[in-house]
Structure 1
Protein backbone atom coordinates (compact mmCIF):
# COMPACT_ATOMS: atom_id res chain seq x y z
CA UNK A 1 0.00 0.00 0.00
CA UNK A 2 1.34 3.42 -0.93
CA UNK A 3 2.05 5.80 1.91
CA UNK A 4 -0.58 8.56 2.10
CA UNK A 5 0.39 12.19 1.88
CA UNK A 6 0.32 13.92 5.23
CA UNK A 7 1.23 17.44 4.08
CA UNK A 8 -2.18 18.76 5.14
CA UNK A 9 -2.39 16.68 8.33
CA UNK A 10 -0.26 16.63 11.46
CA UNK A 11 0.91 13.08 12.21
CA UNK A 12 2.75 12.57 15.51
CA UNK A 13 4.10 9.27 16.85
CA UNK A 14 3.45 9.21 20.59
CA UNK A 15 3.15 6.80 23.51
CA UNK A 16 -0.13 6.20 25.29
CA UNK A 17 0.00 4.44 28.68
CA UNK A 18 -2.24 1.42 29.14
CA UNK A 19 -4.26 1.12 32.35
CA UNK A 20 -1.37 -0.73 33.99
CA UNK A 21 1.21 1.73 32.64
CA UNK A 22 2.46 -0.40 29.75
CA UNK A 23 3.61 1.95 26.93
CA UNK A 24 1.53 1.63 23.76
CA UNK A 25 2.99 2.93 20.51
CA UNK A 26 0.47 5.24 18.87
CA UNK A 27 0.07 7.86 16.17
CA UNK A 28 -2.11 10.95 16.56
CA UNK A 29 -3.44 12.53 13.36
CA UNK A 30 -4.69 16.09 13.61
CA UNK A 31 -6.28 18.42 11.06
CA UNK A 32 -4.60 21.72 10.36
CA UNK A 33 -7.98 23.39 10.81
CA UNK A 34 -10.59 23.10 13.52
CA UNK A 35 -11.16 19.77 15.26
CA UNK A 36 -14.81 18.73 15.21
CA UNK A 37 -14.66 15.05 16.18
CA UNK A 38 -12.44 12.62 18.05
CA UNK A 39 -11.97 9.15 16.54
CA UNK A 40 -10.21 6.09 17.96
CA UNK A 41 -9.18 3.40 15.45
CA UNK A 42 -8.83 -0.09 16.95
CA UNK A 43 -6.87 -2.75 15.07
CA UNK A 44 -7.67 -6.27 13.99
CA UNK A 45 -5.73 -9.21 15.43
CA UNK A 46 -2.13 -9.34 14.16
CA UNK A 47 -2.53 -6.10 12.19
CA UNK A 48 -0.16 -3.17 12.86
CA UNK A 49 -1.56 0.34 13.16
CA UNK A 50 0.23 1.43 9.99
CA UNK A 51 -2.49 -0.32 7.96
CA UNK A 52 -4.91 2.37 9.12
CA UNK A 53 -2.65 5.32 8.37
CA UNK A 54 -4.37 6.29 5.12
CA UNK A 55 -7.86 6.07 6.58
CA UNK A 56 -6.84 7.98 9.71
CA UNK A 57 -5.28 10.80 7.71
CA UNK A 58 -8.40 10.93 5.51
CA UNK A 59 -10.56 11.46 8.60
CA UNK A 60 -8.13 14.05 9.94
CA UNK A 61 -8.44 16.05 6.73
CA UNK A 62 -12.16 16.19 7.48
CA UNK A 63 -11.79 17.69 10.92
CA UNK A 64 -11.20 14.63 13.10
CA UNK A 65 -8.53 14.09 15.74
CA UNK A 66 -7.66 10.42 15.14
CA UNK A 67 -5.60 8.01 17.24
CA UNK A 68 -4.22 4.69 16.00
CA UNK A 69 -2.17 2.39 18.25
CA UNK A 70 -0.69 -1.09 18.61
CA UNK A 71 -1.84 -3.53 21.29
CA UNK A 72 0.83 -4.75 23.69
CA UNK A 73 3.04 -7.42 22.19
CA UNK A 74 2.19 -6.36 18.61
CA UNK A 75 3.62 -3.88 16.11
CA UNK A 76 5.64 -1.14 17.76
CA UNK A 77 4.21 -2.02 21.18
CA UNK A 78 6.43 -5.09 21.28
CA UNK A 79 8.93 -4.87 24.15
CA UNK A 80 12.36 -3.73 23.02
CA UNK A 81 15.57 -5.66 23.60
CA UNK A 82 18.14 -4.21 26.00
CA UNK A 83 20.82 -4.40 23.33
CA UNK A 84 20.77 -3.36 19.73
CA UNK A 85 19.08 -0.41 18.07
CA UNK A 86 15.28 -0.63 18.18
CA UNK A 87 15.35 -4.40 18.11
CA UNK A 88 12.21 -6.14 19.33
CA UNK A 89 12.59 -8.44 22.29
CA UNK A 90 11.40 -12.03 22.03
CA UNK A 91 7.77 -12.56 23.03
CA UNK A 92 8.73 -15.70 24.93
CA UNK A 93 7.33 -15.26 28.43
CA UNK A 94 5.51 -12.04 27.52
CA UNK A 95 2.12 -12.01 29.23
CA UNK A 96 -0.76 -10.63 27.20
CA UNK A 97 -4.12 -12.12 26.28
CA UNK A 98 -6.81 -10.73 24.00
CA UNK A 99 -8.90 -9.93 27.05
CA UNK A 100 -5.87 -7.97 28.34
CA UNK A 101 -5.84 -5.99 25.10
CA UNK A 102 -9.44 -4.97 25.73
CA UNK A 103 -9.21 -4.40 29.49
CA UNK A 104 -5.81 -2.70 29.61
CA UNK A 105 -5.08 -1.24 26.16
CA UNK A 106 -8.35 -0.39 24.42
CA UNK A 107 -9.94 0.83 27.64
CA UNK A 108 -6.99 3.14 28.23
CA UNK A 109 -7.03 4.44 24.65
CA UNK A 110 -10.73 5.29 25.01
CA UNK A 111 -10.06 7.10 28.29
CA UNK A 112 -7.07 8.96 26.80
CA UNK A 113 -9.07 10.26 23.86
CA UNK A 114 -12.13 11.09 25.98
CA UNK A 115 -10.02 13.08 28.44
CA UNK A 116 -8.02 14.88 25.76
CA UNK A 117 -11.02 15.76 23.57
CA UNK A 118 -13.82 15.88 26.13
CA UNK A 119 -15.64 18.66 24.28
CA UNK A 120 -15.83 16.76 20.98
CA UNK A 121 -18.21 14.00 19.82
CA UNK A 122 -16.32 10.72 20.20
CA UNK A 123 -16.46 7.91 17.64
CA UNK A 124 -14.97 4.42 17.82
CA UNK A 125 -13.82 2.54 14.71
CA UNK A 126 -13.17 -1.16 15.28
CA UNK A 127 -11.75 -3.53 12.68
CA UNK A 128 -12.36 -7.24 13.37
CA UNK A 129 -11.09 -7.75 16.96
CA UNK A 130 -11.17 -3.99 17.42
CA UNK A 131 -14.93 -4.16 16.92
CA UNK A 132 -15.29 -7.16 19.22
CA UNK A 133 -13.45 -5.27 21.96
CA UNK A 134 -16.10 -2.54 22.07
CA UNK A 135 -18.44 -4.85 23.96
CA UNK A 136 -15.77 -5.78 26.51
CA UNK A 137 -14.90 -2.25 27.61
CA UNK A 138 -15.99 -1.07 31.06
CA UNK A 139 -16.05 2.50 29.70
CA UNK A 140 -17.79 1.92 26.38
CA UNK A 141 -20.59 4.23 27.54
CA UNK A 142 -18.14 7.10 26.89
CA UNK A 143 -18.45 6.43 23.14
CA UNK A 144 -21.26 8.10 21.22
CA UNK A 145 -20.86 6.34 17.83
CA UNK A 146 -19.21 3.07 16.87
CA UNK A 147 -18.40 1.95 13.33
CA UNK A 148 -17.52 -1.74 13.19
CA UNK A 149 -15.70 -2.89 10.06
CA UNK A 150 -15.55 -6.62 9.31
CA UNK A 151 -16.08 -7.27 13.03
CA UNK A 152 -17.58 -10.62 13.90
CA UNK A 153 -18.02 -13.43 16.35
CA UNK A 154 -15.36 -15.51 14.65
CA UNK A 155 -16.53 -19.09 15.15
CA UNK A 156 -14.77 -21.13 12.48
CA UNK A 157 -17.94 -22.79 11.16
CA UNK A 158 -19.42 -19.35 10.40
CA UNK A 159 -16.59 -18.70 7.94
CA UNK A 160 -17.02 -19.61 4.29
CA UNK A 161 -15.54 -22.78 2.81
CA UNK A 162 -12.76 -23.55 2.09
CA UNK A 163 -11.38 -20.77 4.34
CA UNK A 164 -12.97 -22.27 7.44
CA UNK A 165 -10.96 -25.48 6.96
CA UNK A 166 -7.72 -23.59 6.35
CA UNK A 167 -8.27 -21.60 9.55
CA UNK A 168 -9.15 -24.72 11.54
CA UNK A 169 -5.97 -26.45 10.38
CA UNK A 170 -3.77 -23.38 10.87
CA UNK A 171 -4.94 -22.77 14.42
CA UNK A 172 -5.13 -26.35 15.67
CA UNK A 173 -2.46 -28.26 13.76
CA UNK A 174 0.13 -25.53 13.22
CA UNK A 175 -0.45 -22.50 15.43
CA UNK A 176 -1.36 -24.05 18.77
CA UNK A 177 1.42 -26.70 18.80
CA UNK A 178 4.04 -24.16 17.67
CA UNK A 179 2.90 -21.64 20.26
CA UNK A 180 3.10 -24.12 23.09
CA UNK A 181 6.57 -25.24 22.04
CA UNK A 182 8.06 -21.82 21.22
CA UNK A 183 6.27 -19.74 23.84
CA UNK A 184 4.71 -17.40 21.28
CA UNK A 185 2.94 -17.59 17.91
CA UNK A 186 5.40 -16.84 15.08
CA UNK A 187 3.83 -14.67 12.41
CA UNK A 188 5.67 -16.48 9.63
CA UNK A 189 3.55 -19.53 10.40
CA UNK A 190 0.57 -17.89 8.74
CA UNK A 191 -0.60 -14.72 10.51
CA UNK A 192 2.06 -12.27 9.37
CA UNK A 193 2.80 -10.93 12.86
CA UNK A 194 4.14 -12.59 16.00
CA UNK A 195 1.57 -12.83 18.78
CA UNK A 196 1.93 -13.40 22.54
CA UNK A 197 1.20 -16.98 23.59
CA UNK A 198 -1.82 -16.20 25.78
CA UNK A 199 -3.40 -13.94 23.14
CA UNK A 200 -3.11 -16.54 20.43
CA UNK A 201 -4.33 -19.48 22.53
CA UNK A 202 -7.27 -17.47 23.84
CA UNK A 203 -8.16 -16.57 20.27
CA UNK A 204 -8.00 -20.25 19.27
CA UNK A 205 -10.38 -21.18 22.09
CA UNK A 206 -12.85 -18.49 20.95
CA UNK A 207 -12.67 -19.49 17.28
CA UNK A 208 -13.45 -23.08 18.23
CA UNK A 209 -16.52 -22.09 20.30
CA UNK A 210 -19.96 -21.78 18.62
CA UNK A 211 -20.67 -18.42 20.27
CA UNK A 212 -17.06 -17.26 20.13
CA UNK A 213 -16.09 -15.08 23.11
CA UNK A 214 -19.64 -15.26 24.50
CA UNK A 215 -18.88 -18.90 25.40
CA UNK A 216 -15.84 -18.00 27.52
CA UNK A 217 -17.01 -18.55 31.10
CA UNK A 218 -13.88 -16.83 32.42
CA UNK A 219 -14.48 -13.66 30.41
CA UNK A 220 -16.44 -11.54 32.88
CA UNK A 221 -16.06 -8.53 30.58
CA UNK A 222 -18.86 -9.79 28.30
CA UNK A 223 -21.14 -8.20 30.89
CA UNK A 224 -20.12 -4.85 29.41
CA UNK A 225 -21.82 -5.42 26.05
CA UNK A 226 -25.20 -4.03 27.27
CA UNK A 227 -23.47 -0.93 28.67
CA UNK A 228 -22.93 0.41 25.17
CA UNK A 229 -25.92 2.61 24.27
CA UNK A 230 -24.58 4.75 21.45
CA UNK A 231 -25.17 4.47 17.71
CA UNK A 232 -23.66 1.36 16.10
CA UNK A 233 -23.16 0.60 12.42
CA UNK A 234 -21.56 -2.70 11.40
CA UNK A 235 -20.21 -3.06 7.85
CA UNK A 236 -20.21 -6.57 6.43
CA UNK A 237 -18.32 -7.18 3.17
CA UNK A 238 -20.13 -9.70 0.98
CA UNK A 239 -16.86 -11.37 -0.07
CA UNK A 240 -15.33 -11.51 3.42
CA UNK A 241 -14.76 -15.19 4.29
CA UNK A 242 -14.30 -14.39 8.00
CA UNK A 243 -16.88 -11.74 8.93
CA UNK A 244 -19.83 -13.37 7.19
CA UNK A 245 -23.37 -12.04 7.82
CA UNK A 246 -24.18 -14.71 10.47
CA UNK A 247 -20.89 -13.96 12.27
CA UNK A 248 -21.49 -10.21 12.22
CA UNK A 249 -25.05 -10.70 13.41
CA UNK A 250 -23.90 -12.92 16.26
CA UNK A 251 -21.46 -10.29 17.51
CA UNK A 252 -24.06 -7.53 17.22
CA UNK A 253 -26.57 -9.62 19.17
CA UNK A 254 -24.49 -8.96 22.27
CA UNK A 255 -25.36 -5.26 22.20
CA UNK A 256 -28.76 -5.79 23.78
CA UNK A 257 -29.38 -2.16 24.80
CA UNK A 258 -29.46 -0.91 21.20
CA UNK A 259 -30.48 -1.97 17.71
CA UNK A 260 -27.24 -2.21 15.68
CA UNK A 261 -27.43 -1.27 12.02
CA UNK A 262 -25.85 -3.95 9.84
CA UNK A 263 -25.00 -3.01 6.27
CA UNK A 264 -23.69 -5.49 3.69
CA UNK A 265 -21.35 -3.99 1.10
CA UNK A 266 -20.58 -5.69 -2.24
CA UNK A 267 -17.43 -5.03 -4.29
CA UNK A 268 -19.59 -4.07 -7.28
CA UNK A 269 -21.13 -1.23 -5.28
CA UNK A 270 -17.73 0.36 -4.84
CA UNK A 271 -16.44 -0.37 -8.33
CA UNK A 272 -13.83 -2.95 -7.35
CA UNK A 273 -13.43 -6.68 -7.84
CA UNK A 274 -12.88 -7.55 -4.18
CA UNK A 275 -12.85 -6.08 -0.67
CA UNK A 276 -12.59 -9.04 1.70
CA UNK A 277 -11.62 -8.85 5.37
CA UNK A 278 -8.87 -6.24 5.01
CA UNK A 279 -9.71 -4.30 1.86
CA UNK A 280 -11.84 -1.53 3.39
CA UNK A 281 -8.66 0.32 4.34
CA UNK A 282 -7.17 0.44 0.85
CA UNK A 283 -6.90 3.98 -0.61
CA UNK A 284 -8.99 2.97 -3.63
CA UNK A 285 -12.04 3.30 -1.35
CA UNK A 286 -11.32 6.92 -0.52
CA UNK A 287 -14.31 8.25 -2.48
CA UNK A 288 -16.69 5.43 -1.62
CA UNK A 289 -16.36 3.51 1.64
CA UNK A 290 -14.15 6.08 3.36
CA UNK A 291 -16.43 8.93 2.41
CA UNK A 292 -19.46 7.05 3.70
CA UNK A 293 -17.68 6.29 6.97
CA UNK A 294 -16.66 9.92 7.45
CA UNK A 295 -20.17 11.14 6.75
CA UNK A 296 -21.63 8.67 9.25
CA UNK A 297 -19.12 9.72 11.91
CA UNK A 298 -19.84 13.38 11.31
CA UNK A 299 -23.58 12.74 11.56
CA UNK A 300 -22.99 12.58 15.30
CA UNK A 301 -22.41 16.34 15.53
Structure 2
Protein backbone atom coordinates (compact mmCIF):
# COMPACT_ATOMS: atom_id res chain seq x y z
CA UNK A 1 0.00 0.00 0.00
CA UNK A 2 1.05 3.57 -0.59
CA UNK A 3 -0.12 6.34 1.72
CA UNK A 4 0.57 10.03 1.26
CA UNK A 5 0.49 12.50 4.17
CA UNK A 6 -2.56 11.71 6.30
CA UNK A 7 -3.01 8.49 4.32
CA UNK A 8 0.35 7.32 5.62
CA UNK A 9 -0.03 8.74 9.11
CA UNK A 10 -3.25 6.74 9.52
CA UNK A 11 -1.66 3.38 8.73
CA UNK A 12 -0.61 2.40 12.29
CA UNK A 13 -4.20 2.91 13.51
CA UNK A 14 -5.77 0.48 11.04
CA UNK A 15 -7.01 -3.03 11.82
CA UNK A 16 -5.72 -6.12 10.00
CA UNK A 17 -2.19 -4.77 9.57
CA UNK A 18 -0.94 -8.35 9.40
CA UNK A 19 -2.45 -8.40 5.89
CA UNK A 20 -0.16 -5.62 4.60
CA UNK A 21 2.80 -7.03 2.64
CA UNK A 22 4.64 -3.76 2.09
CA UNK A 23 3.94 -0.10 2.86
CA UNK A 24 5.34 3.07 1.33
CA UNK A 25 4.50 6.16 3.36
CA UNK A 26 5.17 9.38 1.47
CA UNK A 27 5.54 12.71 3.28
CA UNK A 28 3.68 11.25 6.26
CA UNK A 29 4.45 11.96 9.89
CA UNK A 30 3.23 13.54 13.11
CA UNK A 31 4.40 17.12 12.59
CA UNK A 32 4.26 19.89 15.17
CA UNK A 33 4.15 23.58 14.32
CA UNK A 34 7.61 24.18 15.81
CA UNK A 35 9.17 21.77 13.28
CA UNK A 36 8.31 23.80 10.19
CA UNK A 37 11.25 25.77 8.79
CA UNK A 38 11.23 29.57 8.85
CA UNK A 39 9.70 31.57 7.24
CA UNK A 40 7.10 28.92 6.37
CA UNK A 41 6.43 28.41 10.08
CA UNK A 42 5.03 31.94 10.38
CA UNK A 43 2.51 31.30 7.60
CA UNK A 44 1.50 27.94 9.03
CA UNK A 45 1.10 29.48 12.50
CA UNK A 46 -1.18 32.10 10.97
CA UNK A 47 -3.16 29.36 9.23
CA UNK A 48 -3.65 27.37 12.47
CA UNK A 49 -4.24 30.32 14.79
CA UNK A 50 -5.61 33.23 12.72
CA UNK A 51 -7.17 33.01 9.29
CA UNK A 52 -7.76 29.24 9.43
CA UNK A 53 -10.13 29.32 12.41
CA UNK A 54 -11.88 32.44 11.08
CA UNK A 55 -12.39 30.97 7.60
CA UNK A 56 -13.41 27.62 9.05
CA UNK A 57 -16.00 29.28 11.31
CA UNK A 58 -17.28 31.51 8.49
CA UNK A 59 -17.35 29.00 5.64
CA UNK A 60 -17.70 25.73 7.55
CA UNK A 61 -14.49 24.44 5.95
CA UNK A 62 -10.93 25.54 5.35
CA UNK A 63 -10.37 26.61 1.70
CA UNK A 64 -7.11 24.71 1.19
CA UNK A 65 -7.20 25.09 -2.60
CA UNK A 66 -7.02 28.88 -2.29
CA UNK A 67 -3.91 28.51 -0.14
CA UNK A 68 -2.26 25.99 -2.52
CA UNK A 69 -2.56 23.20 0.05
CA UNK A 70 -4.20 20.72 -2.27
CA UNK A 71 -7.84 20.29 -1.35
CA UNK A 72 -10.39 22.07 0.76
CA UNK A 73 -10.62 20.63 4.27
CA UNK A 74 -13.95 19.97 6.02
CA UNK A 75 -14.46 21.98 9.22
CA UNK A 76 -14.23 19.11 11.71
CA UNK A 77 -11.07 17.76 10.02
CA UNK A 78 -9.46 21.21 10.13
CA UNK A 79 -10.13 21.50 13.85
CA UNK A 80 -8.75 18.01 14.48
CA UNK A 81 -5.61 18.58 12.38
CA UNK A 82 -5.10 21.90 14.15
CA UNK A 83 -5.09 20.09 17.52
CA UNK A 84 -2.64 17.49 16.20
CA UNK A 85 -0.23 20.07 14.81
CA UNK A 86 -0.30 22.64 17.62
CA UNK A 87 -0.48 20.56 20.79
CA UNK A 88 2.00 18.08 22.24
CA UNK A 89 1.38 14.44 21.40
CA UNK A 90 -0.08 14.89 17.90
CA UNK A 91 -2.84 12.42 17.08
CA UNK A 92 -1.61 9.98 19.75
CA UNK A 93 -2.95 12.39 22.38
CA UNK A 94 -6.34 12.73 20.64
CA UNK A 95 -9.03 10.86 22.64
CA UNK A 96 -11.07 10.53 19.43
CA UNK A 97 -8.39 8.39 17.79
CA UNK A 98 -8.36 4.61 18.09
CA UNK A 99 -5.32 3.03 19.73
CA UNK A 100 -2.29 2.17 17.64
CA UNK A 101 -2.56 -1.25 16.03
CA UNK A 102 1.01 -1.23 14.75
CA UNK A 103 2.26 -4.23 16.77
CA UNK A 104 0.68 -6.30 13.98
CA UNK A 105 2.63 -4.48 11.27
CA UNK A 106 5.71 -6.60 10.55
CA UNK A 107 6.21 -5.98 6.84
CA UNK A 108 8.78 -3.72 5.17
CA UNK A 109 7.81 -0.04 5.51
CA UNK A 110 9.53 2.66 3.50
CA UNK A 111 9.28 6.21 4.82
CA UNK A 112 9.81 8.76 2.06
CA UNK A 113 10.63 12.41 2.68
CA UNK A 114 11.51 15.24 0.30
CA UNK A 115 14.27 17.73 0.97
CA UNK A 116 11.96 20.59 0.00
CA UNK A 117 8.90 19.53 2.03
CA UNK A 118 8.32 22.25 4.61
CA UNK A 119 4.87 20.97 5.60
CA UNK A 120 6.03 17.60 6.96
CA UNK A 121 9.80 17.79 7.37
CA UNK A 122 12.00 14.70 7.51
CA UNK A 123 12.20 14.74 11.31
CA UNK A 124 8.43 14.17 11.49
CA UNK A 125 8.48 11.53 8.75
CA UNK A 126 11.26 9.58 10.51
CA UNK A 127 9.41 9.81 13.85
CA UNK A 128 6.51 7.88 12.32
CA UNK A 129 8.82 4.87 12.12
CA UNK A 130 8.88 4.65 15.92
CA UNK A 131 5.13 4.03 15.84
CA UNK A 132 5.76 0.75 14.00
CA UNK A 133 8.23 -1.09 16.26
CA UNK A 134 7.96 -4.51 14.59
CA UNK A 135 8.09 -3.29 10.99
CA UNK A 136 11.27 -3.34 8.95
CA UNK A 137 11.50 0.44 8.45
CA UNK A 138 13.75 2.10 5.90
CA UNK A 139 14.06 5.80 5.23
CA UNK A 140 14.41 7.45 1.85
CA UNK A 141 15.21 11.15 1.48
CA UNK A 142 14.59 12.42 -2.04
CA UNK A 143 16.02 15.64 -3.45
CA UNK A 144 14.11 17.03 -6.44
CA UNK A 145 17.28 17.96 -8.35
CA UNK A 146 18.49 14.35 -8.20
CA UNK A 147 15.55 13.44 -10.42
CA UNK A 148 15.63 16.44 -12.73
CA UNK A 149 12.62 18.20 -11.23
CA UNK A 150 12.56 21.68 -9.72
CA UNK A 151 10.35 21.04 -6.71
CA UNK A 152 8.20 18.40 -5.07
CA UNK A 153 7.26 19.91 -1.72
CA UNK A 154 4.51 18.26 0.25
CA UNK A 155 1.64 18.18 -2.21
CA UNK A 156 3.17 17.39 -5.62
CA UNK A 157 4.82 13.97 -5.18
CA UNK A 158 2.23 12.39 -7.45
CA UNK A 159 1.82 15.30 -9.85
CA UNK A 160 2.49 14.35 -13.45
CA UNK A 161 5.27 16.96 -13.65
CA UNK A 162 7.17 14.91 -11.04
CA UNK A 163 6.74 11.50 -12.65
CA UNK A 164 10.54 11.16 -12.85
CA UNK A 165 10.45 10.69 -9.03
CA UNK A 166 7.91 7.88 -9.06
CA UNK A 167 10.41 5.00 -9.57
CA UNK A 168 12.32 6.19 -6.48
CA UNK A 169 9.10 6.11 -4.43
CA UNK A 170 8.49 2.43 -5.10
CA UNK A 171 12.10 1.18 -5.40
- TM-score band by shorter chain is 0.7 to 0.9
Alignment partner of 2:123 out of 219, 243, 246: 246
For the aligned residue pairs, the C-alpha RMSD in angstroms reads 2.0
* Secondary structure in 2 matching 1:253: helix
Per the alignment, residue 169 of structure 1 pairs with: 46
Q: CA deviation at 1:180?
A: 2.8
Aligned-residue offset at 1:205: 0.4
CA distance in 2, matches of 1:252, 1:265: 17
**TM-score, structure 1 normalization:** 0.52
Q: Measure the CA separation in 1 of the matches of 2:49 and 2:93.
A: 18
Deviations 1:105-160 (A, max 9, x none): xxxxxxxxxxxxxxxxxxx1111111101111112322111111111212111111
Distance 1:280 1:273 in 2: 12
Once the two structures are overlaid, the 10-residue window that deviates more, 186-195 or 257-266, is: 186-195
**Following the alignment from structure 1 to structure 2, what is the Cα–Cα distance between the partners of residues 133 and 160?**
24
For 1:43-63, what per-residue CA distance to the aligned partner results, in whole angstroms no more than 9, with x for missing partners? xxxxxxxxxxxxxxxxxxxxx
Runs ≥4 residues deviating over 6 A: none
Residues 111 and 139, structure 2, Cα contact 8 Å, conserved in 1: yes
More helix by share: 2
Q: In the superposition, relative to structure 1, how do residues 171 and 232 fare at CA in structure 2: closer, same or farther (>3 Å)?
A: same
- Higher relative contact order (Cα pairs below 8 Å, separated by 6+ residues): 2
Q: Does 2:107 match 1:230?
A: yes
Residue 91 of structure 2 corresponds to 213
Across the two proteins, how many residue pairs are aligned to each other?
A: 170
1:225–1:282 Cα change, 3 Å: same
Contact preservation (8 Å) 2:106, 2:136: no
Gaps of 5+ in 1: 1-123, 297-301
Is the 2:107–2:136 contact (alpha carbons within 8 Å) kept by the matching residues of 1? Answer: no
Asked if 1:134 corresponds to 2:11, the answer is: yes
Computing the radius of gyration over CA atoms, which structure comes out larger, 1 or 2?
1
SS at match of 2:157: helix
Q: Show structure 2 runs of 5+ residues with no match.
A: none
1-structure distance, mates of 2:153, 2:17: 27
Give the TM-score normalised by the residue count of structure 2: 0.87
